[in-house]
Amino acid sequence: MKAFGRLDLDFKDHANGNEEEIAGDNYASTDEPIEEAYVGIQYGVTSFSFGKQNFASDEFGIEEAYEAPLDEDQFDAVDTDGDDTFRVDVELDQVYLVASYELEAEDKDGITGEFFDLFAATEIAGLELAAAFQQHTPIGGDSLDTWGLSAGYDFGMFGLAADYSVTDDSNTDRETTLYNVAATIDVTSTTGVAIGMQNQEEDNEEDVTGWYANVTYKFPEAKNVSVFAEIADTDEDDTDMGFLAGMRVKF
């Protein structure tokens, strides 16, 4: 048995002054740059943790964008992290299982309600399969049920993956779907390319399609340092293609 803890700081949204819509009219504040802060214990293949951390459903998704033009998936469209989250991870030889529960609470920015999430993944001869489920129950409201399936295959020099997720909102009687298709290519041992397409559709609304393409270069003498560039766009009205470039350093 061993104890562990984690503290992650993210200054990106804090510096930009962005706010992210997480559910209905509730918003997540960027006043504090703390992204994760939790403690836990591990016993064998099982770990238990509690604190500010990601839900089990955050493990879902195959998109390869640095900044996705749409929501990463329908779990991301609802919410995938909380301040008072219990989480259990089980890592077996061929199966990875995660369950999480966010305590029902009212934060300083709005009512969050409670979340219950499940995630399961396995790999069979290079084929990666995953499934996830989330039930979000706002305080004083009906539940939002989200589920998703994904599959990906590694062909060696390139990989291909797809996912599909659906949110059924009992408060509005509307269903929203989102799917991703992504391909990755190892051009050289130091350079990788990714391209992807997304489509999101809500009942009685026009669907939105987005795409992205990026390239990443890892320095051979400093593998923890990489530079990247990305372009992305959607078919929404009054939108223009965006461009992103940056450097990443892992410690």
pTM of this prediction?
A: 0.86
Distance between CA atoms of residues 176 and 69, nearest Å: 17
pLDDT under 70 in the chain at which residues?
A: 11-32, 105-111
- Please report the DSSP string for 179-246 in residue order: EEEEEEEE-SSSEEEEEEEEEEEETTS--EEEEEEEEEEEETTEEEEEEEEEEEEESSTT---EEEEE
Distance between CA atoms of residues 189 and 195, nearest Å: 18
pLDDT score at 232: 97
pLDDT score at 12: 62
pLDDT score at 32: 64
pLDDT score at 34: 82
pLDDT per residue over 69-117, tens digit each? Answer: 999 999 999 999 999 999 999 999 999 999 999 987 665 555 578 999 9
Closest C-alpha to 185, from 165, 212, 224, 214: 214
pLDDT score at 241: 93
pLDDT score at 25: 43
Give the 3-state secondary structure of residue 56: helix
For residue 77, the 8-state DSSP code is: H
Domain 2-187 in CATH 2.60.40.10: no
pLDDT score at 28: 46
CA–CA–CA angle 179, 129, 195 (5° rounding): 45
pLDDT score at 17: 52
pLDDT score at 77: 94
Site of tokens 């399936």: 149
